[in-house]
Amino acid sequence: MKKPIPVTVLTGYLGSGKTTLINRLLADPQGMRIAVIVNDIGEVNIDATLIAGKGHASVADNSLVALTNGCICCTLQTDLIRQIVRLIKTGRFDYILIEASGICEPQPIAQSIAMLDGTAAGKKLPTLCRLDAIVAVVDAYRLLTEFSGGDALLHPEKEEDIAQLLVKQIEFCNLILLNKTDLLSEEEIARVEAIVKALQPSAQIIKTRFTEVPSKEILNIRLFDFAKTFLSAGWAQTVEKETEPEKHPGHDDEHPDYEHHNHQEREHHEHGNTHHDHDHDNGEEQHSGHHHEHKGHSHYEEYGIGTFIYYRRRPFDDHKLEAWVNRFPSHVIRCKGLVWIAGEDTTCYLLEQAGRSVSVQPFSRWLAAAPRQERERAWKRDPAARNNWDERVGDRMTKLVFIGADMDEKEICASLDKCLA
């Protein structure tokens, strides 16, 4: 039986340097025969043309595949799987490189490849390939600009906030190429690296200019593990590291804080249907607060970057929360977590923020709203989940992870407490 063909997925926003990196890898293939799949949301695949122009891969000899008019993380998922299978069955290639469109989210791509690597639950499919690594190419200059109060950069086709895309690409990866560092000072590079580490503490980071990195540091590095990658984001690790309830200003002692929640995160590629969706002006609310030290929190003190958790067992007033979202604290880089809204005792909401884009969307059903037999089955599958149960409110709660620079934790918590119903 042949060994599974390794696959590397390259993500990164438009202009970050993905195509330049692919041409470098093809010029130094480490003795392997590499096929390339290039995704572009437009009708004309410019990146594929640029790769073909270098002469290392060609549509004519089937070593270059162009997928256009959509994203391989959503509308072109089936096409992606079909092309991977086709390339493998030719028997001509030892490796597959995938360049995702600039607006692609990496997790759905990994889920598609999982159908072919033997890891997809319940899928009796042959093991044809293995996902070697997800590499995020990050434009260091653009990242610094976005998270330093610069104008939001919108993709003209999708109108997606670049901050959301940058964060999702950084959070779900194994290796980060911090590119275009020649445009920044040493201090600025260090600040960008601190931001990236706060968002993704586990991934390896390589600082580069013009994506100059040896092929051996990108290919066959065997870094991808779906479960570990899924839980490697900074916000997820912050939740995991919390071992004792936090006592926050204005906290209701009759509703103790618990540390673990049994709702499994369900990421999905959204282009609408939000409960609330906001682009807010970070300049509206300025904080002169300080950074707080807490046991179990990760901090990058030199650059004022840290994390904390806001945790309550009382619901928010919908209108007050919406007003708060419109005045979102300016020093927060990333916020994500579960939200309980008054009058919505069945539906658990997900609040997600990156940069100046904030959304509050229906996420799942509270276990408290499920029949008793379903709750018992859930607790049998995950005994620790019962620790979250409160006799009055069940598993309903608000639990938000904040990652940011020089955040005023007391002020943020106090302002959220004023939104409680």
pLDDT by position in tens, the chain (length 421): 578 999 999 999 878 899 889 989 998 999 999 999 988 765 444 455 555 544 455 555 667 888 876 778 887 888 899 899 999 999 999 999 999 988 788 999 999 888 887 665 555 566 889 999 999 999 998 888 765 533 333 233 343 456 777 888 999 999 999 999 999 999 999 988 988 988 899 999 999 999 999 999 999 999 999 989 988 888 888 876 664 344 443 334 333 333 333 443 443 333 333 344 444 443 333 333 333 333 334 435 556 678 889 999 999 999 999 999 999 988 888 898 999 999 999 999 999 887 677 889 999 899 999 999 999 998 888 887 788 899 999 999 999 999 887 889 999 999 999 999 9
Tell me the backbone φ, ψ of residue 214, rounded to 5 degrees: -60, 145
Strands annotated E in 57-114 = 64-67, 95-99
pTM of the prediction? 0.69
DSSP 388: G
Burial 306-343 (b: 16+ CB within 10 A, else e): bbbbbbbbbbbbbebbbebbeebbbbbbbbbbbbbbee
Report d(CA 372, CA 150) in Å as an integer: 50
Query: Which residues, 6 or more positions from 34, have their beta carbon under 8 angstroms from its beta carbon?
Result: 25, 26, 57, 63, 93, 94, 95, 96, 97
Instruction: Assign residue 259 a region (left: φ > 0; alpha: ψ between -120 and 50; beta: otherwise).
Output: alpha
Q: Domain map of the chain by residue range?
A: 5-230, 241-417
Tell me the backbone φ, ψ of residue 208, rounded to 5 degrees: -150, 165
Q: Which residues pair with 279 in a beta bridge?
A: 357
- DSSP class per residue in 7-39: EEEEE--TTSSHHHHHHHHHHS-TT--EEEEEE
Strands annotated E in 79-217 = 95-99, 129-139, 175-179, 204-207
- Cβ contact 115:226 at 8 Å: no
- Whether domain 241-417 has CATH 1.10.645.10: no
**Would you say the CATH fold of 241-417 matches that of 5-230?**
no
The H-assigned helical ranges of 361-417 are 372-381, 409-417
Strand 305-312 versus strand 398-405 pairing type: antiparallel
At the top level of CATH, the class of 5-230 is: alpha beta
Half-sphere exposure of 22 toward its Cβ, with a 13 Å CA cutoff?
Answer: 35
